[in-house]
Every structure is written in structure tokens, then in C-alpha cells.
Amino acid sequence: MVLLYEDESYIHAFQALRATWAEVEKQKEIPTYGHHTSVTLFGMVNALDGEFFCTQAAQCNVQTFYSFLEKTLDLYANKYIVIVLDNDRIH
């Protein structure tokens, strides 16, 4: 049996001003590049041995999550798999 904990994260090529530190009385300047590139990371950690597995996707949707699950099945072929998920809408 394999016990896996799954989560996803989004990495953006821009900063959110609401969560950015700046000195008092000094306006924060944020460079812009004319596009808002982002990437999604899907990852799982095996709770029994600490092994970590991660993939990258251009989008975070049901199709990319399903593709990640297929890769997970290939990685743990012929094993009983239990996956713990959070309440993300793509699950």
C-alpha cells in the first residue's frame, strides 16, 4: 500500500501588491513585463517513506490534474494507492 498526500501550487511571474513588503513612507515599485505568465505544480509526498513526486503544468484544471494522476499510477504500478486530497475545485 502507498499513502500519498497531494497538493498543487501556483507560481506567478508578477507580485501582488497587497502581500508585498515596503519601507514606511516609500512607494513600492513593481516592474511589469506586459504578460502574466504562471505555472502550476502538482506534487505528492509518500507518507510512508517520504518520497516526493512533482510535475509542472501550464494550467490548473481537471485535465492537467487527471494527467498528473495517470503519471502517479505509472510511478506506483501494481500497488494499492490511497491519495489524500484537499477541497480544491479541480478534484
What integer is the mean pLDDT of 73-85? 95
What's at 70, amino acid-wise? E
pLDDT above 90 (res 14): no
Domain 1-8+38-91 CATH (choose: 3.40.630.40, 3.30.420.10, 3.90.480.20, 3.20.20.100) = 3.30.420.10
Q: Contact 46/4 with Cβ under 8 angstroms? A: yes
pLDDT on residue 19: 65
- pLDDT per residue over 21-72, tens digit each? 777 887 777 666 667 778 899 999 999 999 999 999 988 899 999 999 999 9
pLDDT on residue 45: 97
Nearest to 11 by CA among 35, 33, 44, 39: 39
pLDDT on residue 64: 93
Q: Contact 44/72 with Cβ under 8 angstroms? A: yes
pLDDT on residue 1: 94
Nearest to 2 by CA among 49, 53, 66, 63: 49
Domain regions of the chain by residue span: 1-8+38-91
What integer is the mean pLDDT of 77-86? 94
